[in-house]
Amino acid sequence: MLNRRPTLRRVVLLVVAVIAGGFAAVIGATPASAHFSSIVGKPTCASDTGNWVITWSVMNNATALVGTVDKVSFTPATDPVSQIVPGATIPNPGQLTGTQTIANGTATVATLTVQAKWSDGFEEAQPSIGQVFFDNKCVKNQPKPSAAFSPACDGTVTVTLSDDKDATKAAAFTVTGAAGFTKSVSVAQGGSSSVVVPAAAASAITVLVDGEQLTTGAWKDPGNCAPVAVSSKSDCTSLTVTLDNPAGNRPADAMVSDGTNSQDVTVPAGGSKTLTFPGKPSLTVTVTLAAGAAPTTLKWTPAAACQTTPPAAPTLPTTGSHLGPVIASGAGLLGLGAAVLYVLWRRRTAAESRSF
């Protein structure tokens, strides 16, 4: 009978062969199992811009060695990944991170592909791939602003600024007006605030939100202001026109014309203005208070007594007696008497001269 029991030598050789094969398998498998990378992506909605921001992390799964990015690619191809580039170090321990920004609505999936290598010369035969899915629900935080204008009779305008309760961001308002007026106000969601634009700046108002024009406005008559009173008075020589502007109104501008000459006047609030025109036949004065408004017409109407021809001035009464002729006659007689006396004197003088 044959002895089929294995010899001790054969058993030892078999054990050695098994152990050697095991070591060979371990040695052959170690590089493949100890050197590899992995990728994780996390999407976040950036509500201040309305874009998706993906944070990519590349992990080094080598036991102790530092890895290096050898090749990298990404999608969408138009949106690069920061920091994760060829030559970047994959630390160990730790991870290499980068970000990718994708405009909302341009994609629903993003990928990052990385092929790494290590200082011992090992390179990944197949790259690691990370993938992220997201929807189109990333909404930018935005205000829902509105502005309303309330003009007052004094020329000011109150601008009421509001941000709707459904807004997702506070509204940054800027109100500007004429003459360099500007005022900035921040209004929270569901809130409101008011800005009073002075009369000097209310002719042109602009409301901006985050630097962009929302609306424009200007002062206009609210329709409940006390009107400017226009009156006139005629006398025998002139027409006097008076404009009275009630208190609480803004200064009133008017154009006054007599058909030949025109002049612009400003009547302050609570004040009056008086103009006088020389009276003449058919004198008519027009007062226009606003562009496009119907003018007020005033005519010179002197009283009936001014239009009657005045009577002739009365003569002065004669006083005293009629002495003129008497005096003249007396003077003539005196002169005649003096002449007679002179002649007689001459004759007497001549006679006495002959007697000697």
Q: Report yes or no: 174 and 214 within 8 Å, Cβ to Cβ.
A: no
Contact partners, residue 275, CB within 8 Å, separation at least 6: 240, 241, 242, 256, 263, 265
271 backbone φψ class: left, alpha, beta (φ>0; ψ -120 to 50): beta
Average pLDDT on 56-60 reads 95
Element of type H or E holding 23? helix 8-34
Question: 132-175 pLDDT, tens per residue?
Answer: 998 878 888 999 999 999 999 999 999 999 999 999 999 999 99
Q: Is the pLDDT of residue 30 over 50?
A: no
Task: Report the amino acid identity of residue 60.
Answer: N
Tokens of residue 300, six digits: 């010179």
Token pair of 164 as six digits: 């709707």
Strands 171-176 and 182-187: antiparallel
Instruction: Confirm if 160 and 129 have CB atoms less than 8 A apart.
Output: no
Residue 294 burial by Cβ neighbours in a 10 Å radius (0-12, 13-18, 19+): exposed
Query: Which residues are CB-contacts of 61 (< 8 A; sequence separation ≥ 6)?
Result: 34, 35, 36, 37, 38
| Spatial CA neighbour of 290 closest among 213, 193, 225, 216 | 225
Q: How large is the average pLDDT for residues 77-94? A: 94
> What pLDDT was estimated at residue 116?
94
- Is the predicted pLDDT of residue 15 greater than 60, yes or no? no
Band (pLDDT 50/70/90 cuts) for residue 284 is: very high
Give me the domains of the chain, ranges plus CATH numbers.
32-133 (2.60.40), 145-217 (2.60.40.10), 229-303 (2.60.40)
Q: How far is CA 263 from CA 103, 125, 138, in A?
A: 63, 95, 64
At 290 the pLDDT is: 78
CB neighbours of residue 178 within 10 Å: 15
pTM value > 0.75: no
Average pLDDT over residues 4-28: 49
Q: Is the dihedral of CA 252, 255, 257, 260 positive or negative?
A: positive
> Which are the contacts of 22, defined by CB distance < 8 A and separation ≥ 6?
none
Which is more confident, 23 or 97? 97
Average pLDDT over residues 223-239: 92
Q: Where are the alpha helices (DSSP H) in 199-259?
A: none
